[in-house]
Structures are given as C-alpha cells and as structure tokens.
Amino acid sequence: MLQIKNLSKNYEDLKVLEQIDLEIESNKTTVIIGPSGSGKTTLLRCLNLLAIPDIGEIDLNGVSLTFDPNQPLQKRKILDYRKKTGMVFQSFHLFSHRTVIENIMEGPVTVLKKGKADAMAEGMALLKKVGLEDKANQYPRQLSGGQQQRVAIARALAMKPEVLLFDEPTSALDPELEIEVLEIIRALAKEHYTIVIVTHKMTFAKEVGDNIIFLENGRILKQGSYAELYHSGNERINRFLTTLQ
C-alpha cells in the first residue's frame, strides 16, 4: 500500500497540494481526475519524488519518508524510493538517441545493475507484452506516438516498480493510437498491477478505476468508486464525470 499523509506542496506562494491524505491500495487501479491546474500532475510527481513535498509523509509498502523543509532528504533515499516507482509521461520522454530495446534496458542495467543479457531478455519479453517485439532495434522517431508510449510503458515495467504512475498517457495521441495504449493499461490493471493514473477519459476511468480521486484546488474533494462519485450529489463532479468521454 502507498500511504500519503498530510502532504503539502507549494511553488513559492502558490499552494498546489494541501494536506493530502490518501491510501493507494496495492494491486488496484486508482484514477485521479479534476480540473486543469488542480494539482494532478504535481501529486503524481510527488509520488515518485520528481517533486519533493514540503511536508507530509509517504509510506510505500512499509518504507516511510518524512518531508520537512528543515531536514531535506538524502539523495540516496530519494533514489532508492524512486526506483520502486515507474512513471509514464504524457509526452513519452524516451531517449531519442537510443534504440527501443536500449531504452528499456537502461534502467535495469544502470540502476538495478542487472547483466546485459538478462536485461535484454526481459526487455524483449516486455516488448512482446506491448506488441512491439519487431521494433526492438528502431529509434523512437521511427515509431508512432502510440508505439512510443507502449515502449515507455515497457520501460517503466522493466524496473519492476511497486507502483506504476501514468500522467495522461494518451492525451498526446490521436484517437486510434489512444486505443492501443489504453488496451495495454487495461491489461495491466487486469493483471493487478498497482496503478495510479491521471486521465480525462471518463469511460476508461469508470471501467478500470477501483478508486477515483477528485482533486480540486490541491485538495481531495471526493473519492470512491465511479458510482459513489456519480451519486455523491456534487453537481460539479457529475458534470465532470459525464461531459468527458
């Protein structure tokens, strides 16, 4: 379980996240929704320490980190924690000068110190999982956006993370490419990976989301199943759930 306690994050005078308390269950899919600027990306970035919370606590399966502006975390602790999380970005962030398989092997070889042969074999198996084993030796620019995102997912999986974080993974994609990426995430959800996903795809959120978090102005306005949110009587949430597909 990923437990977040009293987490706040400011950018200078801007309060972006305020006293977030949240439990992210293992082997479930948690969906984060909310208006633009509500802090969804910042929350995900705090969950893999790309952004360091100002105060609060994060506990990932029993390993706990406490944030205190007067006691910055050691780099080692940040890196140790970060390698237990896998992040998939809106805009893929692949290494453009590396082939697909090199992109996937990079983390296991340099961070996990895995042997190249093992990393390659595991990387190929992951490429197969995302339906791209024939693209192993191509460069990202030779792939469609949907294919690049599937490589990015394989790259995240290669680290065997305890939690997978997706920030609007399909928002940069054309609708037909979006489908192939959602298909992969749907399969991962069915395999009971621990997933946290920011998305505006409400049909998808309804289908895969075990818990849906509605963020507004850096706070959790409501959380629960899609049905619970839908019947919460909050007009703003309802509009959100029903106008976005």
Ligand X SMILES: Nc1ncnc2c1ncn2[C@@H]1O[C@H](COP(=O)(O)OP(=O)(O)OP(=O)(O)O)[C@@H](O)[C@H]1O
Residue pair 241/201 in contact by the 8 Å Cβ criterion:
no
Residue with tokens 């956006």: 145
- Which of 29, 30, 38, 41 touches Mg ion (CB under 5 A)? 41
- Which of 4, 22, 29, 42 touches ligand X (CB under 6 A)? 42
Q: How far is the CB of 93 from ligand X (least distance, A)?
A: 15
- Which of 2, 7, 16, 202 touches ligand X (CB under 6 A)? 16
Binder of residue 123, out of ligand X, Mg ion, none (CB less than 5 to 8 A by kind) = none
Q: How far is the CB of 67 from ligand X (least distance, A)?
A: 17
Binder of residue 148, out of ligand X, Mg ion, none (CB less than 5 to 8 A by kind) = none
Q: 65: which strand partners?
A: 58
- Which of 2, 22, 24, 38 touches ligand X (CB under 6 A)? 38
Q: How far is the CB of 14 from ligand X (least distance, A)?
A: 6
Q: 58: which strand partners?
A: 4, 65
Nearer to Mg ion, 42 or 148 (CB): 42
Number of C-beta neighbours around residue 75 at 10 A: 8
| Structure tokens that stand for 123 in this block | 């990387």
Number of C-beta neighbours around residue 233 at 10 A: 8
Per CB under 6 A, the segment of 23-31, 40-48, 103-111, 114-122 that binds ligand X is 40-48
Secondary structure of 114-148 in the HEC alphabet? CCHHHHHHHHHHHHHHCCCHHHCCCCHHHCCHHHH
Nearest residue to Mg ion by CB is 41
Residue pair 124/133 in contact by the 8 Å Cβ criterion:
yes
Per DSSP (E only), the strands in the chain are: 2-11, 14-24, 29-33, 55-60, 63-67, 85-88, 163-167, 195-198, 211-216, 219-224
Per CB under 5 A, the segment of 35-43, 64-72, 157-165, 188-196 that binds Mg ion is 35-43
Residues of the shown chain interacting with ligand X in the complex, contacts defined by CB under 6 A: 11, 14, 16, 34, 36-42
Residues of the shown chain interacting with Mg ion in the complex, contacts defined by CB under 5 A: 40-41
